[in-house]
């Protein structure tokens, strides 16, 4: 059992040597939750707003505000696109949620999503050099129902202040209408990270996992466990990227998706699910055990585990099975158990296990690339370009069963991602600006390095206070006691 320090470089070593793998896995989850709560309380959240322009004398107040700023207002009035140059709009993202589907915790009430939305904004800044603002909204209508039209109207009203919108943690089926409507009706990119973001990084992980086992995408037999916003979008992106829908089967809580699912067909709000009913599962499998036989890939985004995905399902899969179990905060089966059942490659949504397939590897670079060329939307081709940027970056470093994805501390992956997304935006005609790939790459890298240098300076000068080591020790002690 190692002594804890602020770096927390290897969480497994913090637990007693006589702990089982299951105890360590459960202990890490408990520890991270407890420490997160205490750290958020210590800092009062994790983000703030600070100026990026200086005050060099009293009259600079008159430059940044009235009367000088009047010229900025009238210039933007004459040309609204000037707002991208004369304000922070061009590097600013609204992280919008009604908090109805927060991680694996469900409806957390509107303010309950603030921790996640602030976290999203934090990662945007640290990983992509993008400013983000957490906006959790009340989507209830007069009938006490969550109304997608309220979110749509809210986003339309605020879009003049932002360069892009990141939708997050909106439950289905509302998430489909919100995204599809806003993508078409807004003049800035609207990105649903639970859907498009998770789809993008999962495609990246799948590309490399199939490279490791030497199986082509169009030949892969894939079972999807869970048919929410994430998995339905993952399936759609895989199909767009060349996967064969006839070799895919999706499952929701009522069984397999196929043309016999009249319950889905009858509810027009679930039109995205019905599209997949029409394209996938030609054999009309209704149970996982029958669909999983000989499958190459299992992609689970359902509900937190660890006993949701069964070992016998993995045992029934084909040669060198690939298992993605990406429920948060606890995967549907722990990686060690999946490996014991025969999985060759295992990926989760967590960074304390190998092969983290998490949208944090996607949205900072994707949104940065879209912002730099002032894209009007993020298309599916842009998302697929990002997926290949992530996959190819990892491939150049050398793939293995335990390394199919870059990690969040591999800074350059976000710059490559931004550059490829920007080039695809230009190619598809949705960009306002024309830049070279190298210009986007270097600008992204410079902004990320600037952000990290600033944070390092704030930490060094104690403007960001160092949390007491006792906070970590107490959280670890509670975790150890909880799983003994």
Task: Give the pLDDT mean for 326-355.
Answer: 94
The pLDDT of 74-94, averaged and rounded, is 97
pLDDT at 239: 97
Shortest CA distance to 310 belongs to which of 329, 332, 291?
332
pLDDT of residue 371: 98
Mean pLDDT, range 382-410, rounded to an integer: 97
Classify residue 86 as left (phi > 0), alpha (psi -120 to 50) or beta. Answer: alpha
Mean pLDDT, to the nearest integer, of 474-482?
96
Residues 189 and 165 sit within 8 Å (Cβ to Cβ): yes
pLDDT tens-place string over residues 402-424: 999 999 999 999 999 999 999 99
* CA atoms of 438 and 350, how far apart (whole Å): 32
Nearest to 325 by CA among 367, 289, 353: 353
**Strand extents, DSSP E, 143-192:** 164-167, 190-192
Share of the chain above pLDDT 90, in %: 94
The pLDDT of residue 456 is 97
The residues near 47 (Cβ < 8 Å, ≥ 6 apart) are: 118, 121, 122, 125, 132, 134
Higher pLDDT, 1 or 313: 313
Q: Give CA–CA dist 395/408, Å, rounded.
A: 16
Q: What is the mean pLDDT of the chain?
A: 96
Q: Regarding the domain delimited by 196-348, which CATH topology (the fold level of the hierarchy) does it fall under?
A: Rossmann fold (3.40.50)
Q: What confidence category does residue 355 fall into, taking pLDDT thresholds of 50, 70 and 90?
A: very high
Dist. CA 333–CA 350, nearest whole Å: 12
Give residue 79's pLDDT: 97
Q: Is 65 a catalytic residue?
A: yes
- 438-466 pLDDT, tens digit per residue, is 999 999 999 999 999 999 999 999 999 99
Contacts within 8 Å (CB) and 24+ apart, 255-259:
255/286, 255/287, 256/281, 256/284, 256/285, 256/286, 256/287, 256/291, 257/227, 257/281, 258/282, 258/284, 258/285, 258/286, 259/284
For residues 173, 174, 179, 184, the Cα torsion angle rounded to the nearest 10 degrees is 100
pLDDT of residue 164: 98
**pLDDT exceeds cutoff 80 at 135:** yes
Q: What mean pLDDT is predicted for residues 64-92?
A: 97
User: What's the average model confidence in pLDDT over 375-395?
Assistant: 97
pLDDT, one tens digit per residue, over 280-338 is: 999 999 999 999 999 999 999 998 889 999 999 999 999 999 999 999 889 999 999 99
List the structure tokens of 206: 């799948």
Q: Active site residue: 26, 120, 377, 443, which one?
A: 120
Q: Looking at residue 222, what is its pLDDT?
A: 98
State yes or no: is 120 an active-site residue.
yes
Q: Tell me the mean pLDDT in the region 105-116.
A: 94
Cβ(233)–Cβ(267) under 8 Å? no
Looking at the chain, the domain(s) classified CATH 3.40.50.10380 span 62-188
Between CA 247 and CA 479 the distance in angstroms is 43
CATH-assigned architecture of domain 359-460: 3-Layer(aba) Sandwich (3.40)
Question: In this structure, what DSSP letter does residue 403 have?
Answer: B
Q: Return all residues near 65 (Cβ < 8 A) that are at least 6 apart.
A: none
Catalytic residue among 37, 65, 140, 397: 65
Q: What is the pLDDT of residue 172?
A: 87
CB 297 within 8 A of CB 281: no
Token pair in block for residue 241: 């990227």
pLDDT at 328: 86
Check pLDDT > 80 for residue 104.
Answer: no
Model confidence pLDDT, tens digit, residues 176-220: 999 999 999 999 999 999 889 999 999 999 999 999 999 999 999
- Residue 65: pLDDT over 90: yes
CA dist 240 and 480 (Å) reads 46
DSSP-derived 3-state class of residue 316: coil
Residue 72's pLDDT is 98
Find, among 391, 389, 388, 367, the residue nearest to 378 by Cα: 367
pLDDT at 277 over 90: yes
Residue 437 confidence (pLDDT): 98
* Dist CA 406 CA 400 (whole Å): 12
Q: Is the dihedral of CA 323, 329, 335, 338 positive or negative?
A: negative
* The predicted structure's pLDDT at residue 107: 94
Instruction: Kindly report, as residue ranges, where domains of CATH 3.40.50.720 are found in the chain.
Output: 196-348, 359-460
Identify the pLDDT of residue 105: 85
The third-level CATH classification (topology) of the domain covering 62-188 is Rossmann fold (3.40.50)
């Amino acid at each position: 059992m190692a002594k804890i320090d602020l770096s927390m470089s290897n969480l497994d070593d913090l637990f007693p040597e006589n702990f089982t793998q299951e105890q360590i896995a459960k202990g890490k989850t408990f520890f991270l939750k407890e420490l997160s709560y205490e750290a958020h309380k210590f800092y009062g959240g994790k983000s703030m707003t600070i100026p990026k322009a200086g005050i060099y004398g009293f009259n600079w107040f008159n430059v940044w505000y009235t009367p000088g700023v009047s010229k900025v207002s009238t210039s933007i009035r004459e040309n609204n696109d000037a707002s991208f140059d004369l304000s922070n709009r061009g590097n600013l993202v609204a992280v919008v949620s009604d908090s109805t589907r927060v991680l694996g915790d469900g409806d957390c009430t509107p303010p309950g999503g603030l921790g996640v939305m602030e976290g999203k904004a934090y990662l945007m800044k640290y990983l992509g050099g993008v400013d983000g603002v957490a906006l959790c909204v009340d989507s209830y209508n007069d009938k006490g129902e969550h109304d997608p039209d309220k979110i749509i109207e809210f986003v339309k009203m605020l879009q003049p202040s932002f360069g892009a919108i990141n939708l997050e943690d909106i439950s289905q089926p509302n998430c489909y209408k919100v995204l599809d409507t806003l993508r078409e009706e807004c003049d800035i990119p609207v990105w649903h990270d639970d859907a498009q973001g998770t789809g993008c990084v999962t495609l990246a992980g799948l590309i490399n996992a199939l490279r490791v086992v030497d199986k082509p995408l169009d030949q892969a037999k894939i079972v999807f466990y869970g048919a929410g916003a994430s998995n339905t979008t993952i399936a759609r992106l895989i199909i767009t990227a060349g996967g064969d829908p006839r070799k895919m089967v999706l499952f929701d809580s009522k069984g397999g998706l196929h043309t016999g699912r009249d319950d889905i067909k009858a509810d027009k709000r679930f039109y995205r699910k019905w599209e997949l009913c029409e394209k996938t599962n030609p054999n009309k499998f209704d149970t996982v055990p029958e669909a999983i036989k000989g499958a190459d890939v299992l992609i689970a985004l359902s509900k937190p585990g660890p006993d949701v995905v069964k070992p016998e399902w993995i045992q029934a899969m084909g040669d060198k099975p690939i298992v993605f179990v990406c429920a948060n905060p606890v995967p549907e089966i722990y990686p060690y158990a999946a490996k014991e059942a025969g999985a060759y490659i295992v990926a989760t949504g967590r960074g304390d296990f190998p092969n983290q397939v998490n949208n944090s590897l996607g949205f900072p670079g994707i949104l940065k690339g879209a912002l730099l060329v002032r894209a009007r939307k993020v298309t599916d081709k842009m998302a697929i370009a990002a997926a290949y940027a992530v996959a190819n970056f990892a491939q150049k470093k050398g793939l293995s069963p335990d390394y199919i994805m870059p990690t969040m501390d591999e800074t350059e992956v976000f710059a490559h991602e931004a550059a490829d997304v920007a080039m695809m935006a230009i190619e598809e005609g949705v960009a306002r600006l024309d830049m070279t790939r190298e210009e986007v790459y270097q600008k992204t890298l410079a902004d990320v390095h600037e952000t990290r240098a600033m944070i390092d300076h704030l930490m060094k000068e104690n403007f960001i206070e160092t949390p007491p080591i006792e906070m970590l020790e107490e959280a670890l002690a509670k975790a150890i006691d909880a799983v003994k």
